[in-house]
Chains A and B, each alone.
Chain A
């Protein structure tokens, strides 16, 4: 499929509108948070600094505004389904930001993110394709029931994976920028290779890129804003929803592999779902030299950051740089997966 100049213009609007809205409103919003006393200690600084939090509500509103633009331009149900699932996870995150939810309650509530999807697929059976495309082998046959069950499972898994890489300045925002770009690449490649593939599926992914880039500018070291659980859970849910509607599930999972492995190692090391404030120890700690060290406590969760620090201490910037380098590797593997699936 060849895109026309009008298509490029519409895609540009889908990207620029939420980004412009975010950049115009973030400063007054952060001042509002400070006035209300909504600040959080940045525990990786000596002494801890106060950072406005949560920026999640603004990230959510700008992403929704972007999806509304896509809906008005393309008139498809895809952005409505995405707004629905993002709203559920944002609401769960907001409750968690102000009243801490239990370790098992949060994923259970996040299962509800799948409800708007299933409701929308009743109205539009083409909302998602219940098969998975593989490199070399092509697409599987349709398995609507199994695929729909997996959709319900995907939202809490991906949302929590994003939430669990939200530990250091610029970590989750940089991760979201890189992985959303890999997602856009996968969808664009599928659009180019598949006749009749709707351009709205690509346009729907651009607001996620926009809010991730905008937020990264304020979340990178030294952070001027934290997203809170409302932001990270919503970013993860939107990512999962876009992977499903875009039909690029395998490439999308590959891109977020560092976060998936991080969640897996944390859950296996603390033996199940444990609220992070109740874990046996912290995975990392700050030395007197201001650098981050890997904890040697037996009960400390085995995070990706801790694994990296086992090789020696790093500054916070260096550590986040290492995590993002691993994310770049996984995004390149995702791009390779996309090329092997849609081009070769």
Chain B
């Protein structure tokens, strides 16, 4: 039972990671302009960079949020201290 919430976090991380890596390789990289031309400043190039950063931020926010929820809940109710 102790590990169930962390297993839940692992499951979310698994699904999010597969979805994001797929989005990065099959949607962002596959769209025009090709990555070799990213140096050419264009709206699409900026959009690709922005989308990549967005994927990273999304992973960060979700994982951080889940951990903070878990930690806050545990500190509030369960964490014991040594009796002596």
Contacts and interface: CB of A to CB of B under 8 A. Distances in A.
Interface in B51-71: 60, 63-64, 67, 70-71
A294 B78 CA distance: 11
B3 A325 contact: yes
B2 A137 contact: no
Nearest to A258: B10
Interface range for B: 20 to 34
A337 B21 CA distance: 13
A33 interface: no
Contacts of A141: 30
Interface string A284-321: 00011101011010000010100110111100000000
Interface in B1-38: 2-3, 6-7, 9-11, 13-14, 17-18, 21-22, 25-26, 29-30, 35-36
A134 B21 CA distance: 9
A116 to B, nearest CB: 24
B10 A330 contact: yes
Contacts of A291: 82
Nearest to A253: B17
Contact of A333 (B2, B14, B67, B79): B14
A146 B36 CA distance: 9
Contacts of A217: none
Contact of B25 (A132, A258, A289, A293): A132
Secondary structure at the B interface, as helix, strand, loop or mixed, is helix
A137 B22 CA distance: 9
Contact of B60 (A146, A253, A268, A302): A268
Given A261-B10, A333-B10, A143 B18 contact: no
B58 to A, nearest CB: 14
A302 B25 CA distance: 31
Given A132-B25, A257-B14, A311 B9 contact: no
A3 interface: no
Contacts of A265: 63, 67
A132 B75 CA distance: 40
Interface string A236-269: 0000000000000010011001101100110010
A264 B70 CA distance: 15
A326 B2 contact: no
A312 B67 CA distance: 17
A288 B81 CA distance: 10
B6 A307 contact: yes
Nearest to A334: B14
B67 A307 contact: yes
Contact of A264 (B18, B35, B36, B63): B63
20 contacts: A132-B21, A134-B18, A135-B18, A143-B35, A250-B18, A250-B21, A257-B17, A264-B63, A287-B81, A289-B83, A289-B84, A293-B82, A296-B79, A296-B81, A302-B71, A307-B74, A310-B74, A310-B78, A313-B82, A329-B10
Q: 8 smallest A-B Cβ distances: which pairs?
A: A287-B82, A310-B74, A140-B25, A288-B84, A311-B2, A333-B14, A134-B22, A143-B29
Given A322-B2, A333-B10, 20 more contacts: A143-B25, A253-B21, A254-B18, A257-B10, A257-B14, A261-B10, A261-B63, A265-B63, A287-B84, A289-B84, A304-B6, A310-B70, A310-B74, A312-B80, A313-B80, A313-B82, A322-B3, A326-B10, A329-B10, A333-B14
